[in-house]
Amino acid sequence: MVFITLSPIEASENQVLHATIKADTAMLKQLLKAVANPNAHDTDGFTALHYAAINNDSTSIRLLLNAGAMKNARTQLGVTPLHVTAVKGHHKAMAQLLDAGADAKVKDASGKTPLDWIKPNSPAYKSTVYLRLSDAEFRQ
């Protein structure tokens, strides 16, 4: 049996990730109020904001952004929370991130922008946020 001892900071970051993954906004709020790191991330670089984006959890997104989460945080593959919302078709979460200042022109490690990640069968395809992303790319 192997035991791993986490520092108080590591334990706090794990709790932030866990609360976000579980969409436990009450716990997340408590943790962030207790000065937990809003930029907690896993070994692949996915932050709590990435997981809130995956879950389409607007409350967690708001809590994390208000606590100082990096809106353009990148995983090891250069994926941002905006990329995640794009591939999932979460157009309301995409709008929320864009309104908070997320970079619409950011490219992942393969050179793709969030707009490139939106498929024609996605709920986000041709939505207002799709047009915002398209407009941002056009202005490059």
Residue 92 lies in a domain: yes
| Tokens 């009450």 found at | 26
Q: What is the distance between the alpha carbons of residues 83 and 38, in angstroms, rounded to a whole number?
A: 19
Q: What is the distance between the alpha carbons of residues 114 and 42, in angstroms, rounded to a whole number?
A: 21
Q: What is the distance between the alpha carbons of residues 4 and 127, in angstroms, rounded to a whole number?
A: 47
Residue 134 lies in a domain: yes
Neighbours of 131 (CB within 10 A): 11
Number of domain units in the chain: 1
The CATH number covering residue 114 comes to: 1.25.40.20
Q: What is the distance between the alpha carbons of residues 43 and 29, in angstroms, rounded to a whole number?
A: 23
Residue 13 lies in a domain: yes
Residue 64 lies in a domain: yes
Residue 2 lies in a domain: no
Q: What is the pLDDT of residues 27-76, one digit of tens each?
A: 999 999 987 899 999 989 999 999 999 999 999 999 999 999 999 999 99
Residue 3 lies in a domain: no
Residue 41 lies in a domain: yes
Q: What is the pLDDT of residues 80-106, one digit of tens each?
A: 999 999 999 898 999 999 999 999 999
